[in-house]
Amino acid sequence: MRIAVIRFPGTNCETETAAAIRRAGGEAALVDYRDTTLDGVDGVILPGGFSYGDYLRSGAIARFAPVMQPIRHLAEGGGIIVGICNGFQILCEAHLLPGALLHNAARRFSARPVDIRIERADLAVTRDFREGECIRIPQAHGEGRYVADAGTIASLEAGRQVVLRYVPVPGSDMPHNPNGSVADIAGICNPAGNVIGFMPHPERLADPLLGGAVGHRFFTSLVGARAAELTA
Amino acid sequence: MMFRVRVRVTPRPGLLDPQGTAVEHALHALGFAGASDVRVGRAIDFMMEAVDAATAIADASRMCERLLANPVTEDFTVAVES
């Protein structure tokens, strides 16, 4: 199980993302944004960070990097593409996922744990969860307010494409939705479910050394999911 | 011909513009009580070689659709002068 972790100029979560893949038993390959092939790769993670300094709009320039060509091909062929934080922004800019991620409604960078509900447990990164399970996980972003027109939101809901949703934190005085996302959306997938993007950072809570390992399950899902498919 | 192009990109009406809201509050704090509906966008200036103004506008519009503006959340206008 070989996962490509793409590094753009300004990406800064690739090392811990690769470490989380390896810890889950997968093989991680750091791939440069200028590469034009993804041979021998079973899946791709676009990790967090600030590709191209977030110039113009977050993800707007990374979308045209050479590596996006083979990623698009892989996506069209049903390959697993996962965007975390900036990776989610890139997937939206690339129109591999619908909608856009705008500046947080509170005008502040938000970096704190949030509670999210796993809305679907049948996807490559959520198979090791139960549907409806709520977990607390870190997020850190300035542009995470998911928006899309009403028709798109309705079709996301009808097609069960909302994968992760912010949920109220019992006893907390913080807003449960850290950025003002419509419908408390924290993550979505495409209709086929093979392209998935979300704002939280599972790689930051993927080892007990980091204070918890709930994020590890995203990576065991990913690594195990593919292994199961291959033997099926 | 060489054209001077100015692209204006603005958040789509109805979408929350936190930056515009912050600027509006600051203007009110400075005593400019009459300011309202502040929206913050961006202007992108560049020079472009094109056979005529219509071609320059068409090219700049395609730049907006592909890169300079996000079709989901932003509107744009293009102005050219030779």
**Are the C-beta atoms of A97 and A108 separated by less than 8 Å?**
no
| B19–A107 CB contact, under 8 Å | yes
Tokens of A86: 């900036």
Judge whether residue B9 has pLDDT over 80: yes
* CB nearest to A148's CB, from B16, B21, B72: B72
Residue A75 vs residues A7, A78, A175, B12, B78: alpha-carbon distances, Å: 18, 5, 35, 30, 34
> Is the Cα torsion angle A40, A45, A48, A52 positive or negative in sign?
positive
| A103–B73 CB contact, under 8 Å | no
First-to-last CA distance in chain B?
Answer: 7
> Is the Cα torsion angle A7, B62, A57, A145 positive or negative in sign?
negative
pLDDT reported for residue A76: 95
pLDDT reported for residue A225: 61
Judge whether residue B69 has pLDDT over 80: yes
| B15–A93 CB contact, under 8 Å | no
Residues of A catalogued as catalytic = 85, 201, 203
Closest chain B C-alpha to A162 CA, distance in angstroms: 18
Mean pLDDT of B6-17: 95
Q: How far apart are CA B75 and CA B82, in angstroms?
A: 24
B70 at interface of A, judged by CB pairs closer than 8 A? yes
Average pLDDT in chain B: 96
The pLDDT tens digits for A3-17 are 999 999 999 999 999
**Are the C-beta atoms of A84 and A104 separated by less than 8 Å?**
no
pLDDT reported for residue A226: 56
Judge whether residue B10 has pLDDT over 60: yes
At position A87, the amino acid (one-letter code) is G
pLDDT reported for residue A227: 53
| B72–A56 CB contact, under 8 Å | no
Name residue, tokens 């019992």: A170
pLDDT reported for residue A207: 94
Pairing of strands A2-7, A27-32: parallel
Question: For chain B, what percent of residues have pLDDT higher than 90?
Answer: 98
> Along the 232 residues of chain A, how does pLDDT read in single tens digits?
899 999 999 999 999 999 999 999 999 999 999 999 999 999 999 999 999 999 999 999 999 999 999 999 999 999 999 999 999 999 999 999 999 999 999 989 999 999 999 999 999 999 999 999 999 999 999 999 999 999 999 999 999 999 999 999 778 778 899 999 999 999 999 999 999 999 999 999 999 999 999 999 999 999 986 555 554 4
pLDDT reported for residue A232: 41
Q: How far apart are CA B30 and CA B12, in angstroms?
A: 27
- The length of chain A is 232
Question: For chain A, what percent of residues have pLDDT higher than 70?
Answer: 97
